[in-house]
Amino acid sequence: PPLPAARVRSAFVEFFRDKHGHLPVPSSPVRPRGDPSLLFVNAGMNQFKPIFLGTADPRSEMASYRRVVNSQKCVRAGGKHNDLDDVGRDGYHHTFFEMLGNWSFGDYFKEEACRMAWSLLTEHYGIPADRLYVSYFGGDAAAGLPADEDTRNIWLEIGVPTHRLLPFGLKDNFWEMGDTGPCGPCTEIHYDHVGGREVAALVNADSPEVVEIWNLVFMQYNRELDHSLRLLPQVSVDTGMGLERLVSVLQGKTSNYDTDLFTPLLHAIHQRSGVEPYRGRMGAVDVGQVDLAYRVVADHIRTLSVCIADGVCPGMSGAELVLRRILRRAVRFCVEVLRAPQGTLASLVPTVADLLGNIYPELHQETDRIVDIINENEAHFLSSLRQGSRLIERTLSRKDYKRGVFPASVAWSLHRDLGFPLDLVDLILEERGVRVDRQELDRLIAENQKVALELQAGDRAQVTLDVLSLTALQRLGVPHTDDSLKYDYHLA
């Protein structure tokens, strides 16, 4: 019988603890502690950033770490690592996931890291070597970074055949924590879910058949504010493997949603819904809309539960704004696609706690608070939705609006006064065969953005940028980075 997820997780920690002398350490909360460069903890290494940089307080416990292992709660829904738009559309990108990792801080380096990883996967977990592909950093002339031939040779010695050993550039094989922070070349292990063939071309090609499972980063640099690379005081190893992806491999499933980390949740959603059970269909929205909704809701309720337990609540700026968007998206899928009653989302929290509470006990401790916060936010959103829908209907029934073009001032007021994300306005109008007066709406956005920036410069208000306006800002050529989540054209 396949290993349950809980055993997959503990076997990882035990392997590094018992066979290779690593110290198990707890996951940090998903709210970053004292690191304004991050919205959420996006990788296992975040909490160790001071060790990489050589700035850890010498009296702290951390300063003595040489080899550690853990399973870290990660959220990738904003900043440099943002997978929000993939969620539900594929079976292997989540907004919340668990990252299994082992670290060497100035201890072992490339050779031991590769050997340990290979032995764990092929001997311990028993994954057939002929299902695995390995990628390494192929260098980047413009950045003055050489190809990582050392790593290539190590893999050849381990026995990976040349045609399964593939060089990639900065995008795939040079890992960076954010716009600034520790970084370095990496080598990654990918799994072919089909097998019995050679499919090197599917590696790093967004194919659901060949999926990246483990990243081994050789930390050597820090990305500075001016974008230059500074050598770190010592070299380190930082690895990260997605637990959900590993479990899907070991349970013989092509989608993470078909593993025991998700099936109880999908089942609980079905019991409250007014639709057929989850059937796992992927692809076109019209065929798989219901299944897509199941996946989005299952993903989002995990993220909401973990974030709220760690003190990030739905709100109006930064990470909290992202969480608000996640909550609203989940509510809409529950109500409109799954035909589930109000209260459904919060009713799933105990299932999340059952699934993850043993390893992250705060989910048990905080269950009631999480339920209350989700219910409150849902009620508020549903009431705005009802008001907004009435406003849209009234506007559409007016004779004086140009046929097919929705007035920008009404769209803007839906956004500003009722808190509708602008892409939700677009979506609702699209469903009605209407589009908004884009030019005029962009003008309103730009006008507001200017006001907001002036206000901020004058320090008179805390202003936040609605993530959903990013495309609008791009169209207008207003400078921003993804992290400009901090500035808003929209004053709450």
Site track 215-234 with ligand ATP (rule: CB under 6 A), x = hit: x-------------------
Q: Which is nearer to ligand ATP, 43 or 363 (CB)?
A: 43
Q: Which is nearer to ligand ATP, 83 or 426 (CB)?
A: 83
Q: Does 135 interact with Mg ion (rule: CB under 5 A)?
A: no
Rounded to the nearest whole angstrom, what is the least distance from the CB of residue 240 to ligand ATP in the complex?
4
In 331-463, at which residue ranges do the beta strands (DSSP E only) sit?
A: 405-406, 435-436
The answer to whether 134 and 188 have CB atoms below 8 angstroms apart is yes
Q: Locate all alpha helices (DSSP H) within 5-68, ordered by sequence.
A: 5-14, 49-53
Q: Does 296 interact with ligand ATP (rule: CB under 6 A)?
A: no
- Could you tell which of Mg ion, ligand ATP, none binds residue 346, using a CB distance below 5 to 8 A set by kind? none
Rounded to the nearest whole angstrom, what is the least distance from the CB of residue 347 to Mg ion in the complex?
31
Site track 44-83 with ligand ATP (rule: CB under 6 A), x = hit: --------------------------------x------x
In 271-399, at which residue ranges do the beta strands (DSSP E only) sit?
A: none
- Could you tell which of Mg ion, ligand ATP, none binds residue 213, using a CB distance below 5 to 8 A set by kind? ligand ATP
Distance CA(135)–CA(217), nearest Å, equals 12
Look up residue 204 and give its DSSP letter: T
User: Which of 148, 176, 212, 310 contacts ligand ATP by CB under 6 A?
Assistant: 212
Q: Does 242 interact with ligand ATP (rule: CB under 6 A)?
A: yes
Annotate 312-339 with b (16+ C-beta within 10 A) or e (fewer): bbbebbbbbbbbbbbbbbbbbbbbebbe
Rounded to the nearest whole angstrom, what is the least distance from the CB of residue 215 to ligand ATP in the complex?
3
Q: Which is nearer to Mg ion, 215 or 273 (CB)?
A: 215
Distance CA(385)–CA(333), nearest Å, equals 13
Rounded to the nearest whole angstrom, what is the least distance from the CB of residue 443 to ligand ATP in the complex?
36
- Could you tell which of Mg ion, ligand ATP, none binds residue 99, using a CB distance below 5 to 8 A set by kind? ligand ATP
Q: Which is nearer to ligand ATP, 215 or 464 (CB)?
A: 215
Q: Does 244 interact with ligand ATP (rule: CB under 6 A)?
A: yes
The answer to whether 214 and 241 have CB atoms below 8 angstroms apart is yes
Give, as ranges, the residues between 194 and 253 that touch Mg ion (CB under 5 A).
212, 215
Q: Does 245 interact with ligand ATP (rule: CB under 6 A)?
A: yes
Neighbours of 230 (CB within 10 A): 11
Distance CA(316)–CA(309), nearest Å, equals 18
Distance CA(486)–CA(470), nearest Å, equals 12
Taking the CA atoms of residue 447, residue 449, residue 452 and residue 453 in that order, the dihedral angle to the nearest 10 degrees is -110
Q: Does 241 interact with ligand ATP (rule: CB under 6 A)?
A: yes
- Could you tell which of Mg ion, ligand ATP, none binds residue 98, using a CB distance below 5 to 8 A set by kind? none
What is residue 158's three-state secondary structure? helix
Distance CA(296)–CA(300), nearest Å, equals 6
Q: Which residue is nearest to ligand ATP (CB)?
A: 242
Rounded to the nearest whole angstrom, what is the least distance from the CB of residue 190 to Mg ion in the complex?
9
Burial class of residue 380, CB neighbours in 10 A (0-12, 13-18, 19+)? middle
Enumerate binding residues for Mg ion (CB under 5 A): 212, 215
| Binding residues vs ligand ATP (CB under 6 A) | 76, 83, 93-94, 97, 99, 175, 212-215, 240-242, 244-245
